[in-house]
């Protein structure tokens, strides 16, 4: 009887190990990115292309608001598309200009670190009223400062849109959608990605209903710029 039990336990353990090895490793900080054809962003996430991939949940890390927050990501021959849907009941967003400190109000963010041999990464933020902050960030042992893009025009421009969603006149959520062209990421190495390319990345949300609440894909230690704790995205 004991031999049978031992054999059964061994079989179950082996099965568990195999399942863990084959489970999509989102929890382990690895996310596969599907390739798509280029499309227009509307701020509503209604393009048919978004049906090609699934939402990924952001985990609540700080604050008393337990809103659901999720994102999608795709890539094309020309750039990367991101879509965020953020549950909310109060929009805190008064800034009406680009390249401002929009992270001090409601915002979604993404950080891309294409080359792990360099301590320079790209950060993008978008507010509920569609104001953006695209910057390149050198980070030396925790000392960092964002740099604005030069000649930010033509094919180096992002495309972005946002919408605030209401039911019976009450805010229920807001949606952010944007496209980041590879030309804007130059001269970062490992860009543009091809099938099999791996980048480090993280995805965030900040909400300012009374107290600050924060969400992220991968946990960080001190702040969002903890690039060593970023997850990994792999381009299919």
Domains of the chain, earliest start first:
31-235 (2.60.40.1190)
Contacts 24+ apart (CB under 8 A), 63-69: 63/207, 63/211, 63/212, 63/213, 63/214, 64/210, 64/211, 64/213, 65/207, 65/209, 65/211, 65/213, 67/207, 67/213, 69/205, 69/215
Secondary structure element (H or E) that encloses residue 59, with its range: strand 59-62
The pTM of this model reads 0.88
Q: What is the pLDDT of residue 24?
A: 37
Q: What is the pLDDT of residue 5?
A: 40
> What is the model's pLDDT at position 28?
72
What's the Cα-to-Cα distance from 81 to each of 123, 221, 224, rounded to whole Å?
14, 27, 20
State the pLDDT at residue 222.
86
* pLDDT lower than 50: segments of the chain: 1-25
């Amino acid at each position: 009887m004991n031999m049978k039990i031992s054999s059964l336990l061994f079989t179950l353990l082996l099965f568990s190990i195999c399942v863990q090895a084959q489970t999509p490793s989102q929890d382990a900080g690895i996310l596969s990115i599907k390739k798509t054809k280029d499309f227009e962003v509307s701020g509503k996430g209604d393009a048919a292309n978004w049906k090609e991939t699934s939402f990924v949940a952001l985990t609540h890390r700080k604050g008393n608001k337990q809103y659901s927050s999720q994102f999608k990501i795709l890539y094309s021959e020309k750039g990367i598309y991101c879509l965020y849907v953020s549950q909310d009941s109060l929009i805190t967003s008064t800034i009406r200009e680009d390249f401002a400190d929009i992270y001090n109000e409601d915002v979604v963010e993404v950080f891309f670190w294409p080359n792990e041999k360099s301590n320079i990464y790209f950060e993008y933020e978008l507010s509920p009223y569609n104001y953006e902050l695209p910057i390149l960030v050198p980070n030396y042992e925790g000392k960092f400062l964002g740099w604005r893009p030069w000649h930010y025009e033509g094919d180096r421009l992002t495309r972005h849109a946002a919408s605030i969603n209401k039911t019976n006149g009450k805010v229920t959520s807001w949606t952010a959608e944007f496209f980041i062209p590879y030309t804007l990421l130059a001269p970062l190495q490992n860009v543009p990605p091809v099938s099999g390319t791996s980048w480090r990345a993280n995805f965030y949300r900040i909400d300012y209903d009374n107290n600050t609440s924060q969400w992220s894909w991968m946990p960080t230690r001190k702040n969002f710029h903890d690039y060593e704790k970023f997850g990994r995205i792999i381009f299919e």
